[in-house]
Structure 1
Amino acid sequence: MTSGFRPDFGLTAQDYGRHRAGFPPQIVTHLYRHGIAFPGKDVLDIGTGTGTLARLFAQAGARVTGVDPAAPLLERARELDREAGVRTDYRVGSAESTGLPDGAYDVVAAGQCWHWFDAPKAAAEITRLLRPGGRVVIAHFDWLPLPGNVVEATEELILSFNPSWTLGGGTGLYPRWLTDLATAGFTGIETFSFDLTVPYPPEAWRGRIRASAGVGATLPPDEVERFDDALGRVLHERFPGDVIHVPHRTWAVVATRGDG
């Protein structure tokens, strides 16, 4: 990830927790098909944010630890866990240096965050944390900009306010992460993906975008307000209605610790 664009998601904790669509539950079924089951397993979710992956793993029966550098996000994660009736052990820390013990985990996951990490250091840390034969999961849940859709219009508006934002125009596919894992000695590398549509009321889409890297996590508060007003006008004029249907892609790579 380029060093010139460093968002602080702690600034977006309330919108992040309230409006960002979490990973769909189907990802647990897909991971099971790739040999990753959760009941009774010790799982670490690095870059956990508000715990969207961690909660799914806990609901599937795992003992989950979540690590993130943004304490406000972790506090919001605890609130959401209480509402969901699960518990995760959340700790402040970085993916490259978690401070957690060697060989303590069956699975280490990174959801929607690998691009923020120093990949060689994070991969080495994951290798240290995994038990022999342990599995790593790098997953994403991305909106899809398609010609003329609300995502394309939203990304154009983000760039007009924040030209340094570099995350637009994505396909939801991350082949470079496979190279990161192979270089670090992981084996049995496999990927899967599936698409779905997420319904957003207009106000929720505005909240979702306020919580994004290019808006609430980097722009000053007055610019966030100006952007939000402008997005409201775009939605009213170009995408009217009570619900906006936003296409998303779930994609993941799974691999095994190389000496397993």
Structure 2
Amino acid sequence: MEIKNSSIDSGKAFDWGKTSADYAKYRDIYPDIFYKKILDRNLCIAGQNVLDLGTGTGVLPRNMYQYGAKWVGTDIAENQIMQARKMSEELNQKIEYLNVPTEELNFPDQTFDVITACQCFWYFDHKKVTPLLARMLKKDGSLLVLYMAWLPFEDRIAGESEKLVLKYSPHWSGAGETIHPITVPDCVLDIFTPVFHEEYEVDVPFTRESWNGRMKACRGVGASLSAGEVTKWEKEHRAMLEKIAPEQFTIRHYAAMLELKQKV
């Protein structure tokens, strides 16, 4: 499903469904510490019902399924949900996936112990979504916002790759990341209060192929360019990597988490 938001990429339309195959193959890259940090907060564990918003191909529920929580994943893009179902079924995981916009979710009151939003919270209509999430969360439940991004000013390969994305998508607003806490709109803070946040650096391993695939599956390339443009970008990116990157390398990232609870 095509999405347009004036505050993202200057309103250029994007559709995660266009890049679902690459997303499934190349974007399951969170390191073990990413999940450990969640577990350290006693979140997404046995005995808890968890709703994962913007689940994409189900990366978060699939990787945390082993810790015993009961998961539901939702996403606006049908192709993403199709990939999520396929991959979870192959692992014999009982995860419910729904193709529905977050703004239209209608679970009963106090259904979930935890609601997660990984790499997606800024895409929502927060004025509509925030009271909806509060209603579906149990009274002491947690809203957990998660994020991870490469650091273009600290990592040459990431920086040069980012420049190439901007060559093809000059209005892409995903460029120039630096380490900072996750922030949420004031309307969210009217109902929820932050109780914990953490930011930390991680080195994520890649090969030339997997980094090319990871970059191709970003919003500024696979989700928004035409098929012809994606092919040209991919060819140019592969040539660039042959010049500046060894066959195996790491990319410096930072990860962040923000846990919120409802105001009493």
Using a 3 Å threshold, how does the CA distance of structure 1 residues 188 and 232 change in structure 2: closer, same or farther?
Answer: closer
In structure 1, the residue matched to 2:69 is 62
Tell me whether 1:230 sits opposite 2:255 in the alignment: no
Preserved contact between residue 178 and residue 253 of structure 1 (Cα < 8 Å) = no
Map Cα deviations across residues 92-112 of structure 1 (whole Å, 9 max, x no partner): 111222132222111000000
In structure 1, the residue matched to 2:262 is 257
Pairwise CA distance, 1:85: 3.6
Q: Which runs of 5+ in 1 are unaligned?
A: none
SS in 2 for 1:137: strand
Identical-residue share of aligned pairs (%): 28
- Separation in structure 2 between the aligned mates of residue 197 and residue 31 of structure 1, nearest angstrom: 18
Preserved contact between residue 26 and residue 213 of structure 2 (Cα < 8 Å) = yes
- Separation in structure 2 between the aligned mates of residue 29 and residue 199 of structure 1, nearest angstrom: 18
CA RMSD for the aligned pairs?
1.9
In structure 2, what residue type is equivalent to 1:247?
A: R
Once the two structures are overlaid, the 10-residue window that deviates more, 50-59 or 7-16, is 50-59
Tell me whether 1:135 sits opposite 2:139 in the alignment: no
In structure 1, what residue type is equivalent to 2:67?
A: A
Pairwise CA distance, 1:179: 4.6
Tell me whether 1:163 sits opposite 2:170 in the alignment: yes
In structure 2, what residue type is equivalent to 1:258?
A: K
- Separation in structure 2 between the aligned mates of residue 209 and residue 231 of structure 1, nearest angstrom: 9
TM-score by length of 2: 0.90
List aligned pairs for 1:1-260, cutoff 5 A.
2=7, 4-147=11-154, 149-177=156-184, 179=186, 181-183=188-190, 185-239=191-245, 241-259=246-264
Pairwise CA distance, 1:198: 1.3
Map Cα deviations across residues 166-186 of structure 1 (whole Å, 9 max, x no partner): 110012534422755423x21
Using a 3 Å threshold, how does the CA distance of structure 1 residues 53 and 172 change in structure 2: closer, same or farther?
Answer: farther
Preserved contact between residue 54 and residue 74 of structure 2 (Cα < 8 Å) = yes
Pairwise CA distance, 1:196: 1.5
Using a 3 Å threshold, how does the CA distance of structure 1 residues 129 and 25 change in structure 2: closer, same or farther?
Answer: farther
- Separation in structure 2 between the aligned mates of residue 148 and residue 139 of structure 1, nearest angstrom: 22
Q: Which runs of 5+ in 2 are unaligned?
A: none
- Separation in structure 1 between the aligned mates of residue 31 and residue 175 of structure 2, nearest angstrom: 22
Map Cα deviations across residues 135-167 of structure 1 (whole Å, 9 max, x no partner): 110000211112561111011111111112111
In structure 2, what residue type is equivalent to 1:189?
A: V
Pairwise CA distance, 1:35: 4.1
Preserved contact between residue 45 and residue 67 of structure 1 (Cα < 8 Å) = yes
SS in 2 for 1:152: helix
In structure 2, what residue type is equivalent to 1:11?
A: K
SS in 1 for 2:104: coil
In structure 2, what residue type is equivalent to 1:136?
A: L
Using a 3 Å threshold, how does the CA distance of structure 1 residues 21 and 37 change in structure 2: closer, same or farther?
Answer: closer
Map Cα deviations across residues 176-216 of structure 1 (whole Å, 9 max, x no partner): 22755423x21352101222111111111111111110001
- Separation in structure 2 between the aligned mates of residue 192 and residue 178 of structure 1, nearest angstrom: 18
SS in 1 for 2:184: helix
Preserved contact between residue 169 and residue 220 of structure 2 (Cα < 8 Å) = yes
